[in-house]
Structure 1
């Protein structure tokens, strides 16, 4: 009981949109992930124009305050990612710049299963059961029927949950697209995975998996002149804004391989991954 109260005392402040809440998020990530928050020289906004942005540029964002900042903090802790949201820049046929992302259609419904179950139990149940039916190759089975079917097949519920999501699965409300799956599905269609595309399911990627891929510029001399302008530390990527210097451990270090990220554990604080998982 005492341990539960201590955990609540540590987590609840994360959701407050106050300086106290922001400091709580920073302290949580420092304690549980080993993150560091080094302050950048002012101004904390880079001198960048629309013309500096190219179609396909990958945006990684991190929020450390308010309700969604708290959800991002918990997501970072669970997945090992040092960012909480992603988007991609796209230009249309007339050259107009857009930022495309997969987000929350209804901000009253939080992206955590337990919260979904409380706020919208019918929707949560349907989503959960539909995903499990996809993995079984069945349709419209209830949770109890799914468990019976799993036992009939000599399997276990844990093994069912471990079956990788497939990019071509379509649910009642459309495809399953997290923010990072949305971006990397575009990259996949654009040919960035080459011949490996058919053996990679980007719906299994976390944000950490995404920014770890060797898809980005590896020659710092070729980065734009405005990139990290005025900062005393030259990052291997461009930080557009933010009080604290962005950390992306493992950035641009991993070559794609078949079935990548389908069997990887995620245990803090080191988030070690077996080779080829």
Structure 2
């Protein structure tokens, strides 16, 4: 308990200024509780209240504790900024409101238990910071609970990952159960226990068939929550020149997978590793008329050009974000993401081998050459072009963009320069190279849901081995796992030019995504 109290005191009283480095201390803590999400997972993410601009008037809102809360920011002629917060009408004698107050350059984490007027000296604004202040203002975010309870929620969220992304290759059953409950509550996806698995002769598997995966490790469920997909990872089957069956995929080496980069693995070996990693796996065969159109030679040529490239960290989140605002699960917002990217940037830039998962992709969208720009410099250049952060993030990724490589200690390429390709993007690129998709399709804009939604697969299970099944309009076989994968809305959308470049996805029902399926 003492260590938790010390940690809580640290979070309440420390101010981190990434540009100046100076801490200040203020405010007083107490606990409170106001759930907005269906559980504690991700409840530490604060809710955006509004932005304060000098001379732009204040904002007023109802807090969790103080019904009457208002705030404004003022700047003197020397550009010294001061944030004022007034709080009145508490709902109880003991309650608390906690706030994350931030710009891309600095932040405060404060909490209040006593009504009154509070002033926060924000410091002197210069250069890019002054431009951002006048254009975007100071962002106010409200924590759903007290600072102490927010730490507890953060720990609860980490339980989705710990044990699955560390240690041995398997997923501890307790972690898997947590993730099953998370998917059910947050994404309306119930993965029931598997009744039986299909036994599939590998000779029935052909080039171009898709493999779908769910690993209950926190990461796959996070992807699924954000995108509305019932899969967290995808791969494609390809036959080698000697007839050998390979699983081709984009992967990152870790505790559960021994190979790195874009790779191919012989089927029996892949299945062994998948079993050790506690994968749930489905085989999704192409329909016969589609299979006839698929040019496996061209697809394999495309794969060989991509093989060995680094996993697509550079644009990991950009295939998911298609709109300025309608792809973020509550309470995540573009205002918060803009701040977090900038505050985290110095940390990533201090690690030479760490890929930036946003800077290079934003540079591409601005037409910049590789210039080692900071996140805040990129924001400033986007602002000069009239692009908001949300608009910048939503500009479509292009398949022909080339991202920087990584040198090894001897000066050679550990990962050579090339396109940034995550798992579903690789599947899409091979299908496009094989003639199944229009050339105008940017595969880097796809998610796993976008793949299995395509009208390319068997429509029933009548020609499949015993134990396979049909889900709506699609026949497929679950060959591995303890929990059943279902694929609603699969096999329903014919490919069309520039598809999946402007799709909304709003959890937990994703109704906007389904309504836009035929045109987005």
Q: TM-score, normalised by structure 2?
A: 0.47
Contact 2:198 2:465 in 1 (8 A): no
Contact 1:227 1:237 in 2 (8 A): no
Number of the residue aligned with 2:175: 21
1:241 shift after superposition: 2.0
Distance 1:238 1:24, change over 3 A: same
Number of the residue aligned with 1:150: 382
Number of the residue aligned with 2:396: 164
2 CA distance for matches of 1:92 and 1:213?
Answer: 25
Is 2:199 the partner of 1:53? Answer: no
Which one has the largest radius of gyration?
2
1:105 shift after superposition: 4.1
Aligned mate of 1:96, from 222, 241, 244: 244
Aligned mate of 2:158, from 5, 8, 12: 12
2 CA distance for matches of 1:91 and 1:227?
Answer: 24
Contact 1:86 1:179 in 2 (8 A): yes
Contact 1:228 1:235 in 2 (8 A): no
2 CA distance for matches of 1:235 and 1:213?
Answer: 10
Number of the residue aligned with 1:211: 452
Contact 2:457 2:475 in 1 (8 A): no
Contact 2:468 2:477 in 1 (8 A): yes
2 CA distance for matches of 1:121 and 1:210?
Answer: 34
Contact 2:459 2:473 in 1 (8 A): no
Aligned mate of 1:39, from 193, 201, 215: 193
Number of the residue aligned with 1:202: 443
2 CA distance for matches of 1:235 and 1:242?
Answer: 20
Listed as ranges, the matches of 1:58-77 within 5 Å are: 58-64=210-216, 69-77=217-225
Contact 1:228 1:234 in 2 (8 A): no
1:235 shift after superposition: 7.0
SS in 1 for 2:429: helix
2 CA distance for matches of 1:58 and 1:239?
Answer: 12
Number of the residue aligned with 2:80: none
Number of the residue aligned with 2:226: 78
Distance 1:227 1:234, change over 3 A: farther
2 CA distance for matches of 1:234 and 1:158?
Answer: 36
Number of the residue aligned with 1:258: 497
Contact 2:458 2:474 in 1 (8 A): no
Comparing both structures, which one devotes a greater share of its residues to strand?
2
Number of the residue aligned with 1:133: 363
Distance 1:203 1:234, change over 3 A: closer
2 CA distance for matches of 1:178 and 1:255?
Answer: 23
Contact 1:13 1:21 in 2 (8 A): yes
Comparing both structures, which one devotes a greater share of its residues to helix?
1
RMSD: 3.1
Structure 2: give runs of 5+ residues left out of the alignment.
1-144, 164-171, 261-310, 318-339, 406-417
Contact 1:34 1:269 in 2 (8 A): yes
2 CA distance for matches of 1:37 and 1:77?
Answer: 14
2 CA distance for matches of 1:171 and 1:216?
Answer: 33
1:157 shift after superposition: 2.4
Structure 1: give runs of 5+ residues left out of the alignment.
none
Is 2:482 the partner of 1:240? Answer: no
Aligned residues: 265
CA shift digits 1:206-233 (9 cap, x unpaired): 1011111111111432x3224528x9x9
Number of the residue aligned with 1:188: 432
Q: TM-score, normalised by structure 1?
A: 0.84
1:4 shift after superposition: 2.5
SS in 2 for 1:197: coil
CA shift digits 1:108-148 (9 cap, x unpaired): 99968889965774455655322112111111341333223
